Structure 1
Amino acid sequence: GAERYVTAADWPHPQAKAETFYLHGQFGLPLFGKISGDAPTSNKQTSLLQTPVNGLCSASASQWTAGVLGLILPPCSAQDNVVNLLEAVYTSEPLEEDMAINGPITGQIWASTTALDTNVTVRVSVVGDNGIARPLTHGIQMASMSAFDASKSRFMNGKLIQPWHPFSAESKRSISPLTAFRADVEVFPTSALIK
C-alpha cells in the first residue's frame, strides 16, 4: 500500500510493537461483528456452520500447495466478499489515519464445535471504499493440533505474535463436542499500509 520498499536491520521491524484487537460477537444473520482495541464487556457468541472448502478460496491455499492451486483458483481468491458470506466477519470502523501492519499475526480464537475436531480460519482483509474486501493474509489451524510451545514461539512486548505448533502425536489435544477450546492461529506474516 505504501508503493515503496523499506529495509530494516532485523525482523520484525525494530520499531514494531504488538497490538491487540478484540472481536465483538453478534447474534443473527449475517454474522457481522466489530473488531476494535476495546476489550468486550459482554459474552456474545457467534454460531456458524463449518464450511470445509472455504479455505480453498484464499491466497494461503496457493502458498501451502507451492503455487499449484494458484493456477486453478476461482476469482474469489482475489477478493473475500463471496467467502465472507459463509463466515463470521469482524470489521473495524473506518480508519482515521493510516495503519501499518508489518510482521507475524496471531489470531487467538476461543471456540467450540459439535464435531470431534475442526479447523479455525483467520483472514485479514482490507475493505475499500467500494466495499470490496481484498485479502492481505490468512491462517488456518486444526483445533486438535493447536497446542503451542511458548519457548519456541515469538512474543513482542509480552504478546504472542507467532505461535510455534509442534504438530506431533504427543501434542495432539482431544476436542470434545460443545466444550470451549483455545486455538492460536498463526497467520502468515505480511507487510501492508492500510490507508
Structure 2
Amino acid sequence: MPPSPHRVVPRQSIAILVSVLAAIVVALFFGFAALTAVPPALANLASEDADGRTPVTIESDDLRAQIVAPAGWVVVHESAASVIVRTPDGAMSARVDLVDEDPSAVVSAEPGLATSLRTETLTSGLTAVHADLDNGGVVAGVALGGDGSGPSARVVATVVEEADAAIYRPALAQLLDGIAP
C-alpha cells in the first residue's frame, strides 16, 4: 500500500497542544495581573497615614529634619532624605527634601516662579521663604537653623488642575509649621 499523503494526528497530540496553549494563556493572564497590581501595592508599603502628632524623620549626610504632617494626610517615603505628602482628597501634594542651601537660594533656584520671594516666621519659630509657581503650586524653603540661614527643607507643593490652589494655602501653612530640625 502506498504511503498516504495525509498524516493523521492522534487525539493525544491535540490534547497536549490544547493544554500547552491553555497554560500559556493562564501564564500571560497572571503576568498581566502582576504587572497591574504589584506597583500600587509596593507604593502602599512605602506610605502611611499621618496622625498629626508623630514626626517622620528625613536625613541626608549630616542634615536631618522631622515633619509632622496634618492628620489624615498620606506620607510616602521616597528615600531617606525625601517624602511626599498628600492631602486626604489627593488634590494637593508636596515633596519635602533636604538641601544644603539657605531658604532664599532654594526658592530662587526653582523654575517657573510667578511671584517674588516672601519671608515669614512660622509659629514654630523657624524662617520660611516661599513663592508661587506658574503652575499654581508653591515652592518654600524652611531654614533648619535658628538664624534663618543654612540648610533647609525644600517643599514643592502642587495641586491638581481642577483644584483652586488658594483653598490649599492653610493646609500648606500647616505642613510648613510641622517641619522641625
Name the TM-score, length of structure 1 as normaliser: 0.27
For the pair shown, the structure with the greater C-alpha radius of gyration is: 2
Query: Which structure has greater helix proportion?
Result: 2
Name the TM-score, length of structure 2 as normaliser: 0.28
- Between 1 and 2, higher relative CO (CA 8 Å, sep ≥ 6) is seen in 1
